[in-house]
Structure formats: structure tokens, C-alpha cells
Amino acid sequence: MTRRRWIADEVSDKQAALIDDHADHLVRVLRARVGQDFDIVTGAVVRRGRIIAIAPTRVEFELLEEVPSARNSEIVLLLSIFKFDRMEWAIEKCTELGVSEILPVIARRTDSHLAAASLKRLERWRKIALQAAEQSRRVSPPQIESPTKLAQAIGQKAGLRIVLDESEHQSQLRDALHSIKDKVVLAIGPEGGWADDETKLFLQAGWFPATLGETILRAETAAIAATVLAVSSRSPLLHERKAGENQV
């Protein structure tokens, strides 16, 4: 049976701990018991952890052998801020899929009330990402930066930079991602899409425009679909198949 994974709040030598709400969920909801084993993430390493002490707001583990674990993909999302319930759903699912970083962006068409309230949502977004990372057995949650204006965000990222643009009709995202092995940055627009001047700004900064197809997707759907394509393009199995096809 696959062990549940937790990302430790505290680590010291051969022990680790979950604290506060993190511990409360394990104790109250999952009814943890002394002697149970879980996978515990301690920085960049995953180890088997055995519960040695339980309190309402603290669970302590003895750290045992290291557990093999896959590393996160270098996939960054520039995610324009949109309705919070849908955005939280996108953050959760894209975390499960393996994005390494999410940068919330205030675009021209971002609702002003959402933009003003976005900074207060940052800790909630990070908590959602932490829970999704543990559920999907990641080594770490994606880093979620403070919301920033688009003009500042465009020039911050290296790697293959792709802006999803509904006005683009030729370059498909799956083709732009063909066998990519380096960092990829995907920019997802707000409800209503990018404004014309924002599209020009992306092009001037060297971003590559691409489309997900002829249909117009909601922002959260576009974020998830784009992440799936980016993750699958980096799959070792996919690269092996393509190499085999080239040899035929």
C-alpha cells in the first residue's frame, strides 16, 4: 500500500514534525496513531517517518531510510488573476500535475476588485498548493509568488516562454512544446483574454505565441490543458518513442 506523504514543518537531525493545522488534519481527520509510517519530505529528500508522539497541534516522527522520489518539472505558470474559486481550482490541479512555480499576474482585464484582494489570498493559495503537493506525492509544492503587474512579470523568466493567445491561429502549443527538456514558462490570460497592447508586449519581449485550438477555453481550463501538454512533452517515455520512430 502506498504511504501518504507529508511535507515536514520542522526537521532536526533524525526527527521531523507537523504542527498546527497540518498536524490537526493528521490527528483529527486521519486519526493517526503512534507507530504509523508515512513518507516525510525533509527539504529535497523524502524519508520514511514513523510517528513517535502525537498532540492536538503537533505530530512528531522518527526519520528512517530515504525513499526514492521523482523531481518536479520545471514548468512555470504566469497565471492571470481571475475569479478566486476557479483560480484556486486551477492552482490545485496544476500543482497535482507538476508545475514548479506559479506567478499570479494582474492583467489589463483582471477585475479591479480581484486585483485589490489578491495579496490577501496569497497564503490561501500556498496552503492549497501544499495540500495538493502532499496528495499527489510531490517532493515540494510549487513556489507561488506575490501578485505582480504583467509588465514586471514578462521579463523575469528564462527558458522557453510561450503566451497562450486566442488570436493565434497557426502555432499549436503541442508543436511549440515538441520534445522540450528545459524550463518552460506558460502565460495564461484572464477572462476576456489579453488586451492588444499586452500581446504586443509579449512579442516585443521575445515570447512565442501559441494556441490550444479553435475553441475558447475558460482560464482555468486553459491552464490545466497547457500544463498537461507541457508535462507530457517532458515525459521520458514520450522521448523514447519519438527516438524509436526516427530510427525506423
Burial of 219 by CB count in 10 Å (0-12 exposed, 13-18 middle, 19+ buried)?
buried
**Residues 40 and 96 occupy one common structural domain:** no
Report the relative pairing of strands 15-19 and 45-55 from DSSP bridges. Answer: unpaired
Residue among 75, 81, 72, 74 at smallest CA distance from 188: 81
Looking at residue 27, which CATH number applies to its domain? 2.40.240.20
Final residue belonging to a domain, choices 15, 46, 66: 66
**What is the C-alpha end-to-end distance of the chain, expressed in Å?**
41
**Residues 181 and 228 occupy one common structural domain:** yes
Looking at residue 157, which CATH number applies to its domain? 3.40.1280.10
Final residue belonging to a domain, choices 66, 83, 108: 66
CA distance linking residue 141 with residue 96, whole number of Å: 9
What residue has cell string 490527528?
Answer: 27
> Residue 245: is its pLDDT beyond 60?
no
> Residue 246: is its pLDDT beyond 60?
no
Q: Is residue 148 part of a domain?
A: yes
Mean pLDDT of 135-152: 92
Report the relative pairing of strands 37-42 and 45-55 from DSSP bridges. Answer: antiparallel
**Residues 114 and 222 occupy one common structural domain:** yes
Map residue 60 onto helix, strand or coil: strand
**Residues 175 and 109 occupy one common structural domain:** yes
What's the confidence (pLDDT) of residue 167?
A: 81
CA distance linking residue 102 with residue 218, whole number of Å: 18
CA distance linking residue 91 with residue 125, whole number of Å: 7
174 touches 225 (CB < 8 A): no
Length of the chain: 248
8 touches 141 (CB < 8 A): no
Q: What domain range includes position 50?
A: 5-66
CA distance linking residue 76 with residue 63, whole number of Å: 32
**Residues 9 and 123 occupy one common structural domain:** no
Span 147-198, pLDDT tens digits: 999 999 998 667 889 999 888 778 899 888 875 667 899 999 998 899 999 9
Query: What single-letter DSSP state applies at residue 73?
Result: P
- Which residues are CB-contacts of 187 (< 8 A; sequence separation ≥ 6)? 78, 80, 105, 161, 162, 163, 164, 202, 207
Q: Is residue 247 part of a domain?
A: no
Helix then strand count (H, E) for the chain reads: 8, 13
Output the pTM of the full model: 0.82
Q: Is residue 243 part of a domain?
A: no
**Residues 95 and 179 occupy one common structural domain:** yes
Map residue 139 onto helix, strand or coil: coil
Number of domains in the chain: 2
Span 27-58, pLDDT tens digits: 888 888 999 999 999 887 899 999 999 998 99
Burial of 127 by CB count in 10 Å (0-12 exposed, 13-18 middle, 19+ buried)?
middle
CA distance linking residue 151 with residue 209, whole number of Å: 17
